[in-house]
Amino acid sequence: MANTSEQRRYRALIERLAADAKAAPRAYRMRVALLAGVGYGVLATLLLVGLGLPIGIAAALWATGRGFDGWAVYVLLPQTVFAAMLVRALWLRFEPPRGYRLSPEEAPELANEIERLRLAAGAPALDEVVIDSDLNAGAASMPKWLGLFGHRHTLVIGLPLLRALDREELSAVLAHEFGHFRGGHGRFSAWIYRLRLSWFRFADALAGSGTFAFALLPFFRWYAPYFSAYSFVLAREDEYEADAVSARLVGEAARVSALMRVEHTAQHLKRRFFPQMQARMRSQPQPSPAYNALLAAALRETPPVDAARLLTAAARENDLEDTHPTLPQRVGAVSGDAQGATMGATTSATTISIGAATPTLREQGVAAIALLGESLAKIERRLDEIWREDMRAPWAAAYAAAAAERERLDAIERRGEWSVEERLEHARLVERLRPDYDATPLYRRALEAAPDRAAGWVRLGALRIDRDDPGGADDLRRAMRLDAGTIRPIFERLDAFQRDATLAPETAAAIAALREEFASQAASLIARDGVDEDDAFLAHALDETEAAALREALARIPQVGAAWLVRKRLALADEPAHFTLLVTWRGSVASEDAGLKRIVAAWPLPASVTVFGDSGQRALAKRMREACPEAIYRKGR
């Protein structure tokens, strides 16, 4: 669980800065530039000291004829290490996008449309167009020699995007990307992005440097949240401005249709295609030879878009780690000139009204993939080669990691008779290792013999819902009635399903009814597992084996400096224990939320836990240290 107090302050800061940026965009960019200048000034000063001091000492020793005795090495070595850390943080290398370099002659229709949109947007000339295997598009502005010799501008278009959209929708996406290039905004945003990376890499290096971290992290604790918030708002505003360019050049109907269709397609692939690919990684020794053909087949199975459900499913609290606004925000952000000329584009759209009414998707025309013409087969072959090269190492690692599961599945299937536990284990292994096999009959047969196994009902219910069978809700209902401990994990699954608008309406309705039925119990469990300043704490009472397991888990997360553990005093003595873990950091506080999630994921004990850092809840941290004076974990001990 993240530090909610600090998140609230950070969110409030972003909301205030967003209002400033909207009221005076030029002045806001100037403030971001000045804040970035402060960061570069600090880094430059540190670099000057880090390099200048050892060079000065070495020059003085050489001028006076003295040798490099022990004291000189003792002084120069840490300074040299510090200078190397700074140089590494500042020397950022950006690899060119991976993919197929498309020449204008290979796809002249696509090249003409790209050039038309580029000129209309006032964007700089492109150095290359790259086709890759992602359901996305991107505008990359990479500096040549630290920006001293200009920038290299690349437009990246995903082959799945070309399959999912029609020509006009693709034009809307490309116009959005050219909106990022216009007026130097792309170069400015890229500069801010590079500075963010430099600071975060430097902070990670400081995490293991002891003395240097003690001296410099206080500045970073002040600077990082402000710079992160300022640059976050800038990135969000850039997205809105790029959307306005898309609406002006291609039309609001195509812009909204493209946004919604990409979101819908991404949800479909996330639920149906990528889990199957992960199962193939566990079961096949080599990457699939025709990745893009498999992906194309999955795209052809994408269900129709339900605009109202899609917008509802995509309505979420702003993610403080994602610079893209939510889909409803982008759909509703109609610029003043959004209803202007469409640059001659034709449309078969019905009228789209943004606001109280739900937008109506355009009827799709000719698929954008046709713009590649006869080059499609060659592009697909090359992208498959690139994908296999990129996936060879992670695929081998996943296959090796699943060796024990494959051996266990083989051992179970060689046996003549199975116990109840082996039947459930067999169903789970088949689900994980055989993506083309339906494991639901295996779960059903196992649960006929052991109807009291709540975990089996959870797996069967989730699998049936994932296959658009509304009866899966009944299985999850049975699991929660058998074991209240399954309510929270089931609700987490239900939350994920609710954010997926590609589920059949009947399945979505069954999920909504199930959530409503168990909402009060889930809320009670959430309150039980929450921690606030009124809670009372007890000593953790772990035995040495449990404490050692926790220390081992924390040691695998380098940023954790120390940790204190207590038990929350609960109203009923027979309630399962709930622990609270306080951590302090040795690295970047800007990545605290991600660090807390890693700790929760690595938690080795069967009881539940709440994890937080002390930077925003000092009173709560103080009371925890009073209940647990001795840290249960310290780095290096």
pTM, two decimal places: 0.75
Indicate whether 356 pLDDT > 50.
no
Q: Beta 633-634 vs 578-585: how paired, if at all?
A: unpaired
Domain boundary among 483, 510, 529: 529
Average pLDDT over all residues of the chain: 81
Residues 490 and 627 in one domain: no
Q: Give the Cα separation of 178 and 125 in Å (integer).
A: 10
Residues 126 and 250 in one domain: yes
Mean pLDDT, residues 413-442 = 91
Residues 444 and 332 in one domain: no
Model pLDDT, residue 300:
95
Lowest mean pLDDT among 82-96, 174-188, 285-299: 82-96
* Burial (0-12, 13-18, 19+ Cβ within 10 Å), 396: middle
Model pLDDT, residue 195:
65
Lowest mean pLDDT among 61-70, 118-127, 136-145: 61-70
Q: Give the Cα separation of 376 and 373 in Å (integer).
A: 6
Where residue 435 sits, what CATH number does that domain have?
Answer: 1.25.40.10
Helix, coil or strand: residue 50: helix
Residues 46 and 137 in one domain: yes
Residues 453 and 313 in one domain: no
Better-scored residue on pLDDT, 94 or 146: 94
Residues 475 and 394 in one domain: no
Model pLDDT, residue 120:
94
Where residue 569 sits, what CATH number does that domain have?
Answer: 3.30.460
Model pLDDT, residue 243:
92
Residue (of 312, 354, 361) closest to 333 by Cα position: 354
Mean pLDDT, residues 138-156 = 71
Residues 563 and 509 in one domain: no
Say what angle helices 592-602 and 544-555 make with each other, to 10 degrees. Answer: 140
Residues 520 and 563 in one domain: no
Model pLDDT, residue 590:
46
Q: Give the Cα separation of 536 and 578 in Å (integer).
A: 12
**Highest mean predicted confidence (pLDDT) among 265-269, 359-363, 534-538, 552-556:** 265-269
Residues 89 and 70 in one domain: yes
Better-scored residue on pLDDT, 195 or 550: 550
Indicate whether 118 pLDDT > 90.
yes
Q: Beta 151-158 vs 128-132: how paired, if at all?
A: parallel
Model pLDDT, residue 571:
60
Domain boundary among 382, 401, 420: 401
Q: Give the Cα separation of 471 and 603 in Å (integer).
A: 33
Lowest mean pLDDT among 52-56, 256-260, 605-609, 614-618: 614-618
Model pLDDT, residue 200:
62
Residues 394 and 480 in one domain: no
Residues 375 and 455 in one domain: no
Better-scored residue on pLDDT, 286 or 628: 286
Lowest mean pLDDT among 108-112, 137-141, 175-179, 353-357: 353-357
Residues 104 and 248 in one domain: yes
Indicate whether 467 pLDDT > 70.
yes
What is the number of structural domains in the chain? 3
pLDDT band at 568 (very low <50, low <70, confident <90, very high): confident
Within 8 A by CB and 6+ apart from 307, the residues are 260, 358, 359, 360, 361
Domain boundary among 345, 376, 401: 401
pLDDT band at 344 (very low <50, low <70, confident <90, very high): very low
Contact between residue 357 and residue 252 where contact means Cβ atoms under 8 Å apart:
no
Mean pLDDT, residues 321-339 = 68
Which domain does 193 fall in, by range?
1-401
Q: Give the Cα separation of 431 and 283 in Å (integer).
A: 11
* HSE value, Cβ hemisphere, 13 Å, CA-based, for 338: 23
Indicate whether 348 pLDDT > 90.
no
Indicate whether 524 pLDDT > 50.
yes
